Structure 1
């Protein structure tokens, strides 16, 4: 009996040691950073990393380049290259065809709708309608959503930006909060989608930093200051990265886009705002080192899109460039179709994101054939030499266009929310206002100036290095999720890069 008892004890102890060893191995395998910080710089062309390199200090962009892993050849693989789509694609690892955000504005239930509009919620922290927003139009999960799921919803996820869409869409559906500026008050607000009352730390922040005009915030370095300060306040107020559960903070610097639109890519104003941003990044990195611990947080920096060089500047130096007037084109096309089919009803709703939206309700009520209307519309548009291609979005694969452009059109086409016909302009041609071609710029097309973006990882488990291998915007979410051992978002089509 004693022998059997001894054998049983030995087996029990052995089993316990094996079990403990397995649990220890699992714990080691699930080692994660304390905090994931996703930074998006709105309208940051890839070449801004180098154009102002000599003006940057050592702690911001240069630190990213020297200490981080730099994916030099990261491209956006869809159109349109605009803010809402970019922020959605970064954090879902997906494309408009799947995640459903087909533009800053898009067609939902027959109406042109803002990407984050939600009439079922109300503003928190403001009496205006600026908080009637939510992520409900986004059809897939984000990195933050998957982190929530992986931690049984114990992780905290917060989104910060001046712009509502740049805060709401990155944070995802299950985020604890997203905060953005109400331009009527100059303060950070949120939506009843997330909470019923602003936290005390947000109210305190608004008293200290709020009350400025939209011009003072969005078109000056104060916007950078306010965004960085709010990010720090969120870390302090929500104790992000302060326990054993990984949290996530998404931060989008938006005044770079506002200034870029107004002054263009080679202006003193855009140079100044990026030099200022460099200082804010250096300060933020230093703060994270002290608060979270150097090497204890995983940080990435990227952009939602780039920007075209100004038309007038290019023309001055003999480079082909021209403006495109969407409203004028839509009216002229509508007039042609009315005459062609002998009807009075409006057959073209609008041109948005270089998509021609036909009036399906009118076409159906007049018993017209949609394919025939599209055929004549395409034939008319093709007469204009400014358009490289004009494509029926339901039949993209039948179009004689380069594969790289075809892929971007397919990825950008959501059958319920996009238009009927895609106009692809000649290079360096872009949409301008009815006032004419000014000193500013815009973005939205497939070309490298709009689609080549930075993507740099730094911090937890990241060794310095770089790659020129082809990377897409979708690979960002796939890479971050692989690094922290969580499932990639449910619409992700990206691949994790090899670090």
Structure 2
């Protein structure tokens, strides 16, 4: 009997050891096929045609390296509106749309509190690295997981996740809920990278060292074109009527003396509207790779990098400006040095990178008008006055509407009930009224959004951007190329091609070389990376893996 017990124990031990060995071998085999590091790059406000328009100005090691060694999805689009920064970053990394992840704008009207909220603000956390409230941020308003979250769960928290961007939302939303850290740039008089207590109680030593290095200060210098300005034939004249510029400088023309302009332009904040802010982002991302030893063990790490300054430059100077062209020429150089660091620190062929954008941008409508293209600016004051007159005439009060923002009208349900009205009737009446206004192209009710399943057209895009709990009661769509913005600079937000068509490049471990004109969607990125890693898709992902991209 005793001999039998010993024999049984021996078999159990042997079985356990064999199982453990097989699991260990399985993990080792998996780790050999998986990239050591996933780098997600989002270029804020990058239209697809910036790849082709400035192609001759790019070197071989940045954008062209991704195209020549990796896979180029040439017909990649956002499949919802609004095309803003926060929804864009959330959708790229969650594989779903605002309908599910809940980030319906950069800011939105919150019906429960009847107040305007910011996509990443969080009063329950503390700023880390500054006394300013700029650090009181977290991903708590995002309702779903990112592929970075799923990688953390898959690796039992052993794979690191770090998010980096000049903008807080560009760092926080991609990194997800389980990130080890997210860092964003706090300008003003400080010029430092900060975080929040959602992630940590104090900045790591490598971040403190970077902030003390005065790297940010070194970029307060002259901004002139990288190449001779006469060679910038891919963009318009330097002096024109379609650009904003900086306070303290009479014209929006090169060169710009940032040191002398900083006092009138937010001190270190001026860097955000120059390519030097992107240089600073690259510097910090490289410091993070080294400081966090990313991609150096058997567990896949995730680094999310968002280049925000192209957005600020586009908003200020416009799509056709020499400033935008120079920003992309310099960003190409940044990508090249970034990839060289990845080759050295992680190993060439041991990491994977994707590059896309959070939205595109429209040409300055005043510029389009000068070329006889239908375009223009919305007269919001006139529209508001007409709408108020309608509300008073029809319902006796403007109080029936609580808020108008992000092309949505939020109704006062209590007031409607007190007046003995049916909500659906009020919605329909407002749609009929709005459709009589100049440059309102379409209008949809909340009832329509939750009762009709659209599969194509602008209706489909609006529906995929509609969150039943957070969105308004009437959704408005303006005429193509008509915007609510100043007369200089570009903006975004629509469901038209200039806002939805953005680059999508993959390269690195597990990626084929090739290109496609087949339509891909921004929500396909996260499932593709998840499939590459062999992990669960983000929990609300509706995108599909791009099989032809993967080896």
TM-score calculated relative to the size of structure 2: 0.83
Q: Is the 8 A contact 2:28 2:298 kept in 1?
A: no
Note if 1:286 corresponds to 2:340.
yes
Structure 1 residues 225 and 373: CA distance shift in structure 2, 3 A: same
SS of equivalent to 2:443: strand
Q: Is the 8 A contact 2:454 2:460 kept in 1?
A: no
State the distance in 2 between where 1:400 and 1:487 align.
Answer: 27
State the distance in 2 between where 1:200 and 1:325 align.
Answer: 51
State the distance in 2 between where 1:152 and 1:325 align.
Answer: 54
Q: Is the 8 A contact 1:330 1:348 kept in 2?
A: no
State the distance in 2 between where 1:401 and 1:47 align.
Answer: 29
The count of residues paired between Structure 1 and Structure 2 equals 484
SS of equivalent to 2:545: coil
Q: Is the 8 A contact 1:326 1:352 kept in 2?
A: no
Q: Which residue of 2 aligns with 1:84?
A: 86
Note if 1:47 corresponds to 2:49.
yes
State the distance in 1 between where 2:212 and 2:512 align.
Answer: 41
Q: Which residue of 1 aligns with 2:476?
A: 423
Structure 1 residues 206 and 392: CA distance shift in structure 2, 3 A: same
Q: Which residue of 2 aligns with 1:28?
A: 29
Q: Which residue of 2 aligns with 1:73?
A: 75
Q: Which residue of 2 aligns with 1:173?
A: 177
State the distance in 2 between where 1:341 and 1:307 align.
Answer: 39
Q: Which residue of 1 aligns with 2:193?
A: 188
SS of equivalent to 2:346: helix
Structure 1 position 283, deviation (Å): 0.8
State the distance in 1 between where 2:413 and 2:318 align.
Answer: 37
Q: Which residue of 2 aligns with 1:301?
A: 355
Q: Which residue of 1 aligns with 2:524?
A: 475
Structure 1 residues 125 and 18: CA distance shift in structure 2, 3 A: closer
SS of equivalent to 1:453: coil
Note if 1:135 corresponds to 2:136.
no
Instruction: Identify the range of structure 1 (136-145 vs 381-390) with the bigger mean alpha-carbon deviation.
Output: 381-390
1:371-450 matches, within 5 Å, as 371-396=424-449, 403-432=456-485, 437-450=486-499
Q: Is the 8 A contact 2:424 2:447 kept in 1?
A: no
Note if 1:112 corresponds to 2:154.
no
Instruction: Identify the range of structure 1 (159-168 vs 200-209) with the bigger mean alpha-carbon deviation.
Output: 200-209
Q: Which residue of 1 aligns with 2:313?
A: 259
Structure 1 position 402, deviation (Å): 8.4
Note if 1:274 corresponds to 2:328.
yes
Deviations 1:420-475 (A, max 9, x none): 1111111111222xxxx412111001001100111111111212101111211010
Structure 1 position 368, deviation (Å): 3.9
State the distance in 1 between where 2:546 and 2:404 align.
Answer: 37
- Structure 1, unpaired ranges of 5+: 1-8
Structure 1 position 26, deviation (Å): 6.2
Structure 1 position 66, deviation (Å): 0.7
SS of equivalent to 2:487: coil
Note if 1:197 corresponds to 2:202.
yes
Structure 1 residues 80 and 325: CA distance shift in structure 2, 3 A: farther
State the distance in 1 between where 2:534 and 2:284 align.
Answer: 28
Q: Is the 8 A contact 2:43 2:308 kept in 1?
A: yes
State the distance in 2 between where 1:121 and 1:107 align.
Answer: 21
State the distance in 1 between where 2:508 and 2:381 align.
Answer: 47
Deviations 1:165-206 (A, max 9, x none): 000000000100100112332211101111111111111111
- Structure 2, unpaired ranges of 5+: 1-9, 221-266
Aligned-residue RMSD, C-alpha: 2.4
Deviations 1:120-179 (A, max 9, x none): 111011111101110000000001100000000111100000000000000000100100
Structure 1 position 218, deviation (Å): 0.5
SS of equivalent to 2:212: helix
Structure 1 position 409, deviation (Å): 1.1
Structure 1 residues 399 and 24: CA distance shift in structure 2, 3 A: closer
Structure 1 position 322, deviation (Å): 1.5
Q: Is the 8 A contact 1:334 1:347 kept in 2?
A: no
Structure 1 position 405, deviation (Å): 1.3
SS of equivalent to 1:101: coil
Deviations 1:320-377 (A, max 9, x none): 001124465345313321221112x533334322222233354345444322322221
1:55-66 matches, within 5 Å, as 55-66=57-68
